[in-house]
Each structure stands twice: as C-alpha cells, then as structure tokens.
Amino acid sequence: MCGIVGYVGSEKSLEVLLGGLKRLEYRGYDSAGVAIVDAAGELHTVKRAGKLSVLADELAAHPMANGSTGIGHTRWATHGGPTDRNAHPHLGDDGRLAVIHNGIIENFAPLKDELLAEGFSFTSETDTEVAAVLLGREFRATGSLQEAFRRVVARLEGAFTLLALHQDEPGVVVGARRNSPLVIGLGDGENFLGSDVAAFVEHTRRAVAIGQDQIVTITPNEVKVTDFDGNAVEVEAFEVAWDAAASEKGGWSSFMAKEISEEPDAVANTLRGRVLDGRVVIPELEAFGDDVLAGIDRITIIACGTAAYAGQVGRYAIEKWSRVPVEVELSHEFRYRDPVITPTTLVISISQSGETMDTLMAVKYAREAGARAISVCNTQGATIPRESDAVVYTHAGPEVAVASTKAFVAQITALYLFGLHLARVRGSLSEADQAEYVAELLAIPAKISHVLESSESIAQLAKWMSDSRAVLFLGRHVGYPIALEGALKLKELAYIHAEGFAAGELKHGPIALIEAGQPVFVIVPSPRGSAEMHKKVVSNIQEIRARGARIIAIAEQGDAAVLPFADEVVPIPLAAPMFEPFLAVIPLQIFAMELATAKGLDVDQPRNLAKSVTVE
C-alpha cells in the first residue's frame, strides 16, 4: 500500500523523489523518507513521521546533499507504528545500504532471530529493516547488489516490492517484486522505478510493468530484468495514456472534488470505441472468443469495497440482459470458502489499481481451479490484468483521492458494456432492446453533468448536517448497492456511523434504529419503469417518517408521489431504472465530501486508509 520511487540519472534525485512521492502519497501518508547517494559517493537519508509535507519542511530547514541516485518512500504502516524510527528507508551494511519496501514479509520473525544470533542489531519495529540487514549481509558476501537481492528474495515469504541502493554502487538502483506492484519508467539518460506510473509520469510516459518474482536493475542508460533465479526476462514497453497534469488538482479544492467533476468524462471514455451502430462490441474480448463466452453458465464477480458495490450494480444488468446467473463475492472471502468453480465459470475481477492483493489472490485461485478470468481495471501495466485472460480498461484517468468516485461510475459502465456484449453474443436481447439500452448508456455523461450543475442544495444540506452522529441509507434493486456505497463514502470521509440497507429489510430489524430526527437517505426508483417498487419505497418512507426520521429522497424529476413525505428531495434526470445508479450516487458522493469538509477533515487522505490495498 506504500508508495515507492527510485531514480538514476542526473544530479536531481531529490526533486524527482519528492515529486514522485507527492503523486504517490495517496498510497500511504503515515511517514515519508528519502535516501540519496551524493556526488562524493556518500549515502544520506532523511525520514519523518507524518505526511509528506513534514519531510519537505525538514528538508527545507536542513537541506540534504543531492545526487544522481535515490529512492523515496511514503508509508502506510503495517509493522510498527508511524514513527520516525519506523519510517523508510531502513539501513543495512553499517549505513552504506538503504532499502524501501511495500508489502508484508511474513517470515520476518525467524529471519530476525537468525540475524540477532549473528550479532546484528535493529533500531525499528518493522519487517523492512530485517530485509535491509539481511541484504547488507549478503552484499558483503557477494559484492554485488543484484546478486545479494537474488539471494535475499529467495528467502522472503509474503508480499513485497523492495528497492535498494548502496553507496559502493552509485548510479544503480535494484528492485524486486512479489505480489506487489512495481513499474519501470524509461527515460533518456535516466530511468525510474515506482509503485505506479504516477511516480514518474512527469518525466516520461514510456513504461514497463515488472512481472511476478522478477528483479530489475536500473542505471542511467540500461534496464535489466531477470527472474529470481537470475534468468534474463524479455519486457515490453507501453505508453502511459495520461500526463502529469491529469494527476494535479488544477485549481480544485481537493482531488475528490476534481474527480467528481470528471465523472462524465470517465463514463464517456469507458464507452469510447466500444459502441458501433447501436451495438456493443468490446475489442479486448475478441481474443477471448465468442464461443467461450457463449458457453459460460455462471459468472462470479470478485472485488472489495467500492468496487464490490459496483459489481453488485453490474450484477442486476448482466443477469437481466444475458440471462446468465451472477453472484458477487468479496475477494477476501472467495478463496477461503472452497467455492464451486468449473471451466464454464467466468470470474470478473474489479480493481481500480489492478493491484488489490485480496482480489489478485482470488483471481489466481480461480484460474488455478479452471475458471476463465476477465478484469475490469483502470491502471495500465497492473498485475491483475496480466493474471487474467482479458481486461476491460475503464480509461477513467488517474484517481488520486483515496475514496473512489469516478472509478466507481466507470466500473459500472464497463460492467454494463460487458452485459450488453455478452447478451449480443448469446442472442438474449433483441436488436431493438440492445439499441435502447445503448442509447440510455450513451446519454449518461450528459445527465451526470446535469446533476453536477445542480448540486448546490446537496452541499448546503451537508453543511446543515455536519453535526449528525449517524446517517442511514435505503434502496431497492439497483438502489440497494448505491445505498451501501453512500454509507461507505460517509464512513470513509466524515468518520461517522453510516449504514446502507435494502429497503425491504427495514421491518426485519433496522427500523429499530429510527428515532426522532434520524437522517435517512432514500434512493427512490422511477415510477415509470418500476411502479411496484416505487410504491413499496414510498411506503418505506412513510413507515420511517411516522417514527420521526428526517427523509432526504433521491428521486427523479417530477416524482410528485414523494413530495408529501420527504423533508428534502434531490432531483435527478429521468433515466431508465437500470441506469439510475449513475445519477443517484453523485449526490451521495458530494454529500459525503461536503460534510467532511464542513467538519474540517481531509477528504483526499482519510485517516487509516490508503488508495491501493496491496497487502492481505
């Protein structure tokens, strides 16, 4: 989950490292540090607990020597609290070697005992320092950082990306990865390493993804990749589809505000090139084969958090359109319950980063059991797409705020596209129905823009409710996962109790939570396309209103039946019932953001969270 960056090139390491860490801070902001080998061949390190700004202030007050070789780290704490001592880099070989690490080394304890028995000492509580000391010992034995790496990674268990430099090998940074992301940036007379391309996109858009159990050595003019046994590995470069400006705030008050404003484009970009003459054709699935898709008899969607709620929305559409049964599983539960998997099972994984460890391991498990796998992902060069048979990229652009917004609507778009693609392959929808649903989908970006343009009332409502201690969310059908997502956003950003419920469950227990003044958001389905559900939701509103709840209804424009019973109505544009989630979720995202802002909280970097969960 931590952010890592490495650089070799000209005498600007510090600037490159700090710039890369700034764009990677969404991955962890408990502490930060850098290590640089200066022009005289001396290793210097500075690290501080707290956000990156604390490190930047320290470097401004006490400048460190610059150099052409460096590594930097921003931390999400796993082993050991967020202190100066536990911050990375960690040192080995009597301070001549520095290591940074993303992941968890599961067998650190016996390795530490071995090193203690040999007389080595430790200054931190981290598993990373064990790797640093072990690497320093092996460097003394071999005189080669790359060979020392090869020996060390053979002994490590768990998930890790390690980067290291040694003052005896200036102009060299070595990295290794297992179950944790690492990407190379290819420059001219300089090369880069990073947790993702954001680390170096300011300097180059040419990148190479490192595969599982591989070691990379970069110098200013060379990149060498081997497997853990030392065998050379052929790599293939790709072009990053966005530039550094896309990962900057650009005048917005927060990255989250910026990314909410980009949701129309996120949907439009996910649709682009996949709709032809009123039909959906996903080019990335051509290699998969229509015959294989036609033979699928069950689909399992695996994801975590917000992505799982996108999967729940997609389930309704895929089942309705393709007539294939769909289940949605939390990735971290999926592989531990011995699921039934056959060669005709299709597993669809959803991960914005493509590095979510629970989801990655679930994909590997499913493929080993014989299932086919498709990933829905936003990040080029990520691990989960490489472990899948095919990938549908969302093209939403970089999402920096930890709480997901535009990635969520882009993931739903990709799932809807897949549902229509599968329905066409299976012949389960008429051409007229396909054309109708495609038209609805193509109209969504403009309708989201309309919601954004009329969001002032939600922002004001959030300010009025900033002292709320708990908020409930209700929905039916596709509105149910939107209720869950609305509650999650409020928990993530405002740190208050929030729960989402299926509205039909209200009388089966949750109604006991209702008391005078209790705020309840209700996602109201359209009366035009689902009259029966609409009546039931209005009945739910009456039930909780009778017990003193304060009702905030998300309802389509012109829904007069809701007006007498809701304290506040947030109107959304008319849309077919299956497409209302795109519109209903926007006010809930804005509400959570504005309420957190009113409380003086950091909406981009909520406490205890990180963007990419790369540990189990």
State the DSSP string of 391-431.
EEE-------SSS-SHHHHHHHHHHHHHHHHHHHHHT-S-H
587: containing domain: 456-598
Q: What is the rounded average pLDDT for all residues in the chain?
A: 93
The residue among 229, 246, 263 that closes a domain is 246
- Looking at the chain, the number of H-run helices and the number of E-run strands are 18, 26
Q: Is residue 603 part of a domain?
A: no
For 467-521, the three-class secondary structure string (H helix, E strand, C coil) is CCCEEEEEECCCHHHHHHHHHHHHHHHHCCEEEEEEHHHHHHCHHHHCCCCCEEE
User: Looking at residue 15, what is its pLDDT?
Assistant: 96
Question: Are 213 and 234 contained in the same domain?
Answer: yes
What is the per-residue pLDDT for 484?
Answer: 98
Does residue 196 lie in a domain region?
yes
> Residue 456: is its pLDDT beyond 90?
no
User: Looking at 186, 220, 246, which one is the last position of a domain?
Assistant: 246
481 has pLDDT over 70: yes
How many independent structural domains does the chain possess?
Answer: 3
Q: What gap in Å lies between CA 280 and CA 271, rounded to an integer?
A: 9
In tens, the pLDDT along 74-97 reads 998 888 899 999 999 999 999 999
Q: Which of 240-244, 327-331, 509-513 has the highest mean pLDDT?
A: 327-331
* Arithmetic mean of pLDDT, 505-525: 90
| Residue 440 and residue 470 in one domain | no
Work out the angle at residue 220's Cα, subtended by the Cα atoms of residues 219 and 221, and round it to the nearest 5 degrees. 90
Average pLDDT over residues 591-596: 96
- Please, which residues have CB within 8 angstroms of residue 231's CB and are 6 or more apart in sequence? none
Domain match, 590 and 493 both: yes
Task: Looking at the structure, tell me whether residues 528 and 431 fall in a common domain.
Answer: no
What type of residue sits at position 366?
Answer: A
Same domain for 234 and 257: no
Mean pLDDT on 257-272: 96
Name the catalytic one among 2, 47, 364, 377: 2
Residue 616 has pLDDT above 90, yes or no: no
Band of pLDDT at residue 473, cut at 50, 70 and 90: very high
Query: For the domain that residue 497 is a member of, what is the CATH number?
Result: 3.40.50.10490
Q: Is 74 in contact with 29 (CB distance < 8 Å)?
A: yes
If asked whether residues 362 and 427 sit together in one domain, one would say yes
Q: Is 611 a catalytic residue?
A: yes
Shared domain for 283 and 232, answered yes or no, is no
At 614 the pLDDT is 62
Residue 606 lies in a domain: no
Do 164 and 51 sit in the same domain of this protein? yes
The pTM of this model reads: 0.87
Q: Report percent pLDDT > 70 for the chain.
A: 99
234 with 299, same domain?
Answer: no
**End of a domain among 246, 270, 303?**
246
What is the DSSP code (8-state) at residue 195?
Answer: S
Q: What is the mean pLDDT of residues 206-213?
A: 92
* Domain assignment present for 39: yes
Contacts of 43 (CB under 8 A, 6+ apart): 35, 36, 37, 95, 96, 97, 98, 165, 166, 167
Residues 285 and 220 in one domain: no
**CB burial of residue 84 (10 Å; 0-12, 13-18, 19+):** middle
Is residue 611 included in any domain, yes or no? no
244 against 254, higher pLDDT? 254
**Is residue 47 annotated as part of the catalytic site, yes or no?**
no
Burial class (CB in 10 A: 0-12, 13-18, 19+), 441: buried
Better-predicted residue by pLDDT, 236 or 500? 500
CATH of the domain at 233: 3.60.20.10
610 found inside a domain: no
Nearest alpha-carbon partner for 7 in 15, 131, 59: 15
Write the pLDDT tens digit of every residue in 146-179: 999 999 999 999 989 999 999 999 999 999 999 8
What's the pLDDT score for residue 153? 94
In a shared domain, residues 242 and 259: no
Average pLDDT over residues 248-277: 93
SS3 content of the chain, % helix, strand, coil (to 5): 40, 25, 35
In a domain, 374, yes or no: yes
Domain check: are 272 and 207 in the same one? no
Average the pLDDT over 477-497 and give the result: 97
pLDDT of residue 615: 62
Using CA atoms, how far residue 292 sits from 130, 275, 345, in Å, is 47, 21, 10
Which range, 159-168, 504-513, 556-565, is most confident? Answer: 159-168
Give pLDDT tens digits for 356-410. Answer: 999 999 999 999 999 999 999 999 888 999 999 999 999 999 999 999 999 999 9
Nearest to 263 by CA among 27, 585, 591: 585
Identified catalytic residue from 406, 447, 491, 611: 611
Residue 536 is assigned to a structural domain of this protein: yes
